[in-house]
Amino acid sequence: MAKSRTHDTPGAHGPSQRQLRVGELIRRTLSEVLARGDVHDPDLNRLSITVGEVRTSPDLKVATAFVLPLGGEGRDDALDLLRRNRAELRRAVAKKMALKFAPELRFKLDETFDRMDDTRRLLNQEAVRRDIES
């Protein structure tokens, strides 16, 4: 069975429409806050961070943002800065959204691009190309 993209909940069949909708709203809002430099941390404001996806827990109290700094450089520093400013980011997101509770924000590296590069490398191997073409 494929692993679901929600928080690891036994028996989960994937995120609900509500989780998807709220996750996308948080993603857009967080991206906007980071792009405009609404945080009072000059180190964080100097970075250009892509928020690829936000997954929410079923009760919408926890939101995990999958992020990547532009160019992929300084990943650990970017995560540290985001985690250090998580309370201010949470307040900024809550202020712009009409949710009953502001979700706790967690940050993880978005490894989607790395997996795409690995897949591309595999597909370009001579043996794989030969099998595909036959």
Domains of the chain and CATH, by start = 17-133 (3.30.300.20)
Task: Provide the pLDDT for residue 2.
Answer: 41
CA pair distance 118, 121, nearest whole angstrom: 5
Edge-to-edge strands, sheet with 104-109: 49-56, 62-69, 104-109
| Whether the predicted pLDDT of 87 surpasses 70 | yes
What is the average pLDDT score of the chain?
A: 83
Beta bridge mates, 106: 64
Task: Provide the pLDDT for residue 97.
Answer: 85
Q: How far is CA 107 from the centre of its chain?
A: 7
The packing angle between helices 75-84 and 86-96, to 10°, is 70
**Stated pTM of the model:** 0.74
